[in-house]
Structure 1
Amino acid sequence: MARKISFELTPEEMPTPETATGTPAPKANRPLLGLERTIKQSSALGAISQSLGGISEKVKRAEEIEQKLIEGQVIVDLEPSFVDASFIRDRMDATEELNAAFREMIREHGQAVPILVRPHPQLPDRYEVAFGHRRLRAARELGIKVRAVVRELTDEQLVIAQGQENSGRTDLTFIERARFAARLEERKFTRETIMAALGVDKAALSRLISIATRVPAPLIEAVGPAPGFGRVRWQELMELLDEGENRIRAQEIVTKASFADLDTDKRFEALYNGLRVRETRARPETWSAEDGTRAARVMRTGKKLTLTFDDRAAPQFGDFVRERLQALYDEYKAGGS
């Protein structure tokens, strides 16, 4: 159970008579705000819950998170140039189409919900975002001020606010959540704090961090957020990368020019399917001398050709060839190959 971490209590959050008299209160799964996070179902019924009703509930939860964090606070207008991103990056770069659509929504309807920032801990007269990165970017690109609530936040409070707001809105994809968890651990945040930020238990957090650390960062960056793929497929990809020379093959796949032209889900599919294709196991061919001696076997696998000499059939023939490799190579080069 994550330990309880909270901001100042609002009147609605003050202890009730029941809790004040010692009656145990239910422990909240979300230590920052005390909001309950439902467990996702893996059955068909669980899939249906991700319909419009489920999405609406998640948006409502995110709005509750934001409302509690800005409740009773003064909203100010800040120059976007004075506001820096969070010291922990959670999102991967969105496509220009998505950025443009969000920017146009802000242009047309305005910024309905303020972002949450804190005074920058190292730089005077600057601020750091807890949540609202996309709203900040849109305001910066539109050349307008960004509406914000300024609160004093510790590093721990900032990342919990950042993680819970995104979790409530379900904006982050699985791999973005995994990388966010891994980065928090790299920064020496406790597992309890990371669990609070992402609203997950110990087992789920271990899976997130394992996948984010075992799949090489350059591959994750090359694939992108891949919203169409969750834990199961990323775990399968992680296991594929551990087979044979698949890490080398993966690098070859993602560096092809055609790979970058795909959208992020297609890039995941291309990498995943490319690693699943197994080379046909080559069968060695026996090389026989004119006198019938089966002195060696030849086997080609991919770009490798292997010669195996049989000392029983032709003793020391392999040593004989090895001693003449330079002469054979010189002859090969002289032939213009």
Structure 2
Amino acid sequence: MARKNLIEVSAAESAAPDTATPMTATRPLAGFVAPTVRSTPIGGITKTLGSITQKFERAQDIEKQLAEGQTIVELDPAIVDGSFISDRLGIDAAELAELVEQIKSHGQQVPILVRPHPQDKGRYQVAYGHRRLAAVRQLGTKVRAVIRELSDDQLVVSQGQENNARTNLSYIERALFAVRLEERSFSRDTIMAALGVDKAALSKMISVVRQIPVELIEAIGAAPEVGRRRWMEFAELAPKSRLKDLLALLSADNCRAMSSDQRFQKAVEIVSRRPDKARAATGAKVWVPSDKSVSVTLKTTAKKATVTLEASNGPRFAEWIADNLGDLYEAFRKSEKETTGD
């Protein structure tokens, strides 16, 4: 059957699935100036016979609308993939929960920017809006998006500029993003445009990451309160020969429960110790119950042992131990006699 009336101007069509609506916001998306929107309103998509034909017609119609003006469409999050290059060290669970509630209450006010997936036809790839996409996925609704044909360079510039505008990436996340772009052979000009920095600032960013093993940065996390100077000082303190021990300590449950800023400070404290003390600390034993309500860390040296109790039940558990030291010591003595015969 011949295609007809692909784009109809009709009030009834406004309720059709995958609705596309013209953008009225004056804020340019991804640094691109929005083209003048045609005076003729663009409606929905008429149905055709057969599910395969219908999908084809709808895809063709979206392409036509986008070619005529900057248009917001609704996409199934299941067909939207993340950027080919990460700019974050994870998404903070508390911030994501807050964003979910905002979208649930007020709707998704700002669309994400995607491009047709370069390798997987019928799918899309995010330029920016990863947190909004994650929130919408949790809500089980469609995601509002602008689709643009973007080269790899245009995508990373859009990705970086949006994050700069929102100022929600930490210094080390931006520096790591710069290094990842450089490792993918993007030019320094493209990287500077993406991050909104000059050549000197970019060189310092790359220098920081080059001096600190990436796995250590990832173990610490975004550390939003920590700037370039403190990361540089940390780089000078952190010998690569002790990387394995440092990663083991930062991976312990009591450290994972900390914020990334607290983990950074913990890492600084560890690498600031004298080598003999640092080596002794690496022998620490950690015990955590299944409910993770308390974390017990035992550190021993030739002359003393230190027990640290952390997490929500740590203080109460410490008080209970203090109140029952007599019984605990008797149990210890009994165990010693059974083991040694003394």
TM-score range relative to shorter protein: 0.5 to 0.7
Q: Deviations over 1:257-307 (max 9, x none)?
A: 3211211110000001111122579xxxxxxxxxxxxxxxxxxxx99xxxx
Alignment of 1:101-112 (within 5 A): 101-112=98-109
Question: Alpha carbons of 1:248 and 1:136: their partners in 2 closer, same or farther (altered >3 Å)?
Answer: closer
Cα shift at 1:67: 7.5
In the alignment, what sits opposite 2:220? 223
Residues 234 and 268 of structure 2 are in contact (CA less than 8 Å); yes or no, is this contact kept in structure 1?
yes
In the alignment, what sits opposite 2:236? 239
In the alignment, what sits opposite 1:48? none
Q: Deviations over 1:110-167 (max 9, x none)?
A: 0111111111111101111111111111111111111111110000000001001101
Alignment of 1:114-129 (within 5 A): 114-129=111-126
Q: Counterpart of 2:29 in 1: which secondary structure? A: helix
Q: Using the alignment, how far apart are the partners of 1:174 and 1:68 within structure 2? A: 22
**Matched residue type, 2:123:** R
The alignment's TM-score, normalised by the length of structure 1, stands at 0.61
Q: Tell me which of 167, 178, 186 is aligned to 1:181.
A: 178
Q: Using the alignment, how far apart are the partners of 2:28 and 2:177 within structure 1? A: 19
Residues 30 and 162 of structure 2 are in contact (CA less than 8 Å); yes or no, is this contact kept in structure 1?
no
Q: Which moved more, 1:188-197 or 1:198-207?
A: 198-207
Matched, 1:270 2:266: yes
Residues 65 and 165 of structure 1 are in contact (CA less than 8 Å); yes or no, is this contact kept in structure 2?
no
Alignment of 1:68-107 (within 5 A): 69=32, 71-72=34-35, 73-107=70-104
Q: Counterpart of 2:138 in 1: which secondary structure? A: helix
Residues 222 and 260 of structure 2 are in contact (CA less than 8 Å); yes or no, is this contact kept in structure 1?
yes
**Matched residue type, 1:267:** R
Alignment of 1:126-205 (within 5 A): 126-205=123-202
**Matched residue type, 1:66:** L
Cα shift at 1:70: 7.2
Q: Which moved more, 1:98-107 or 1:213-222?
A: 213-222
Q: Deviations over 1:206-247 (max 9, x none)?
A: 11112223211221111110001010111111111148x443
Question: Alpha carbons of 1:271 and 1:67: their partners in 2 closer, same or farther (altered >3 Å)?
Answer: closer
Aligned positions, number: 220
Residues 76 and 149 of structure 1 are in contact (CA less than 8 Å); yes or no, is this contact kept in structure 2?
yes
Alignment of 1:284-303 (within 5 A): none
Residues 91 and 131 of structure 2 are in contact (CA less than 8 Å); yes or no, is this contact kept in structure 1?
no
Residues 182 and 209 of structure 1 are in contact (CA less than 8 Å); yes or no, is this contact kept in structure 2?
yes
In the alignment, what sits opposite 1:258? 254
Q: Which moved more, 1:187-196 or 1:207-216?
A: 207-216
In the alignment, what sits opposite 2:335? none
Q: Using the alignment, how far apart are the partners of 2:248 and 2:270 within structure 1? A: 10
The alignment's TM-score, normalised by the length of structure 2, stands at 0.60
Cα shift at 1:74: 1.1
Matched, 1:207 2:189: no
Point out where structure 1 has 5 or more consecutive residues left out of the alignment: 1-62, 282-301, 304-337
Q: Counterpart of 1:66 in 2: which secondary structure? A: coil
Residues 30 and 158 of structure 2 are in contact (CA less than 8 Å); yes or no, is this contact kept in structure 1?
no
Q: Using the alignment, how far apart are the partners of 1:142 and 1:70 within structure 2? A: 31
Higher RCO (Cα < 8 Å, 6 or more apart):
1
Q: Using the alignment, how far apart are the partners of 1:70 and 1:148 within structure 2? A: 17
In the alignment, what sits opposite 1:314? none
Q: Using the alignment, how far apart are the partners of 2:156 and 2:31 within structure 1? A: 16
Question: Alpha carbons of 1:165 and 1:67: their partners in 2 closer, same or farther (altered >3 Å)?
Answer: closer
Q: Counterpart of 1:203 in 2: which secondary structure? A: helix
**Matched residue type, 2:29:** E
Residues 116 and 129 of structure 1 are in contact (CA less than 8 Å); yes or no, is this contact kept in structure 2?
yes
Name the larger-Rg structure. 1
Cα shift at 1:248: 4.6
**Matched residue type, 1:271:** A
